[in-house]
Amino acid sequence: MTHVILEARDIRYRYPHGMEAIRGISFHVRRGEKVALVGPNGAGKSTLLLMFNGMLRPDSGVLLFDNRPIRYDGGSLRELRRRVGFVFQNPDRQIIAPTVYQDVAFGPTNLGLPEEQVRVAVEAALRNVGLTGFERRPPHQLSSGEKKRVAIAGVLAMDPDLLVLDEPTSNLDPAGSEDIMELLEELKGNGKTILISTHDVELAYPWADRVILLRGGEILQEDSPDVAFSDTDLVRKARLSVPVLLDLYRELERRGLSLPGKRPKTVLDMINTIEQVTRKGASSPLYGTIHVCNVDETTREALSRWLSDHGGISLGAMGTRAKQRASEEELPLDFSYGVIDKCILKALNGRSSLILTVGGMVQQVERRVSDFKVESGAEIPVRKVERT
């Protein structure tokens, strides 16, 4: 049973001496969901987010966390803030301490954990975001993407249930944004619920389970991303744009191409849809193989031997730890985000690839490929690189 972790019932908020920023908003977030609050600048996204960990208190209406109304006394707020990790838009404003270690340790130390447990929590958090080895670095020497990771690690160290991120990809380069979105995907895999605000529709569209369109302090629409972004009128009202893939799909439909299946979220979905239309009846082509390697279980030598046996294979890394390993061993990555989809695309084209990843994500590859088989009928072989 999926139960509701956060619920808002008709909340309103007016800034002192200002306009009403939130005008009666009701919605809920289920445990394990990825929700994107999407809206233009000034829609009230940040204001709304700040209410979820009790930084702002609504003037009227009720906010429930874990089915209990949020209370605003010191003790309850501390517990709430431990369970709702808040990542600010500007990491410089969130990072407090002079070294990465001290900053990530800030939360757990203030929760009163003994030093040994603090150390364990910090190490785990830094490993999670792929910043192992950065402990003694001062934050001002890090890149924007690294600072963002430190900020996320600082929140993860308190082991929250719900992660709230305000514009997680602002100020990051495209690769940095993809890295962060993939990190959020990994965190979801670890059982966290994730709520982000953004105005980047291209990022929110494939990522979110559910999208809440916000404008002028009110909810315009709340639905799965393909439905929410399909309503051109609403999207225009919210000063956003229709995601390119969705736009393309609808334009094809309008030209009388009857496309089977659901609306495409990724390039792979789109290719699959098109191939189903064009390849009707043709014999099934020869697919490439997707090899999966768990880097935690494979030595450096075994990996380089395998790679030299399979020259010219495309290489992708999934997950922060696998990417860190790849950069340590100076392996040239062909893909660093959306890896499974890109490897399936390669395989459809008859080319093989290797995915470097860790632990549970090996199953994720297998699951995605078998899901794809159900969708498209294409049976792509997945092989694990054997331990040697």
Partner 1 sequence: MYEELLEDIAQKNGLREVSPYLKLAGALGAILLCLSSTSFIAPLAIALLLSLGILFLARVDLRTYGELLVAPFSFALMGAFVIILLSGGGEPLWSWSPLPWLSFSITRGSINEGILVLSRVAGGMSALIFIALTTPMTDLFLVMRRCRVPEPVLDLAMMIYRTIFMIMDQLVQTYQAQRMRLGYTSFRESVRSFSMLCGSVFIGSWDAGEDLIRAMDARCYSGRFAMAGEIRPVEVKSFLAVAFFLVVSSAIVLSTGNIAII
Is residue 107 a contact residue for partner 1 (CB under 8 A)?
yes
CA–CA gap between residue 150 and residue 236 (Å, rounded): 35
Smallest distance from the beta carbon of 13 to partner 1, in angstroms?
A: 16
Of 77 and 274, CB closest to partner 1: 77
Q: Shortest approach of partner 1 to residue 168 CB, angstroms? A: 15
Q: Does 128 bind partner 1 (CB under 8 A)?
A: no
Q: Among candidates 195, 193, 160, which has minimal Cα distance to 81?
A: 160
CB of 110 to partner 1, least distance (A): 5
Q: Applying CB under 8 A, what is the total number of residues that bind partner 1? A: 38
Residue 328 Cβ vs partner 1, minimum distance, rounded to whole Å: 19
Footprint of partner 1 on 31-90 (CB under 8 A):
53, 55, 78, 81-82, 86, 88, 90
Name the one range near partner 1 by CB under 8 A: 23-31, 129-137, 215-223, 370-378.
129-137
> CA dist 225 to 221, 229, 230, 264, Å?
10, 6, 8, 11
Q: Among 38, 52, 55, which Cα is nearest to 161's?
A: 52
Tokens of 87: 């990542």
* Window contacting partner 1 (CB under 8 A); options: 112-120, 172-180, 235-243, 332-340: 112-120
Considering only 59, 71, 72, 96, the residue that binds partner 1 (CB under 8 A) is 96
Contact status: 109 vs partner 1 (CB under 8 A) = yes
Using rule CB under 8 A, residue 117 touches partner 1: no
> 209 exposed, middle or buried (CB, 10 Å; 0-12, 13-18, 19+)?
middle
Give residues with Cβ within 8 angstroms of 47, minimum separation 6. 13, 15, 21, 22, 56, 217
The DSSP secondary structure of 180-219, one letter per residue, reads: HHHHHHHHHHTT-EEEEEES-HHHHHHH-SEEEEEETTEE
Contact pattern for partner 1 over residues 147 through 186, marking x by CB under 8 A: -------xx--x----------------------------
CB 345 within 8 A of CB 270: no
Joined together, the tokens standing for residue 368 give 């995605």
Residue identified by tokens 């498209």 is 376
141: its two tokens: 């020497």
Span interacting with partner 1, options 25-33, 131-139, 170-178, 364-372, rule CB under 8 A: 131-139
Q: In this structure, are residues 150 and 103 in contact, taking their beta carbons and an 8 Å threshold? A: yes
In the complex, what is the shortest distance from the CB of residue 164 to partner 1, in angstroms, rounded to a whole number? 10
Question: Could you tell me the smallest distance in angstroms from the CB atom of residue 21 to partner 1?
Answer: 17
Q: Which residues bind partner 1 (CB under 8 A)?
A: 53, 55, 78, 81-82, 86, 88, 90, 92-99, 101-102, 105-112, 118-119, 135-141, 154-155, 158
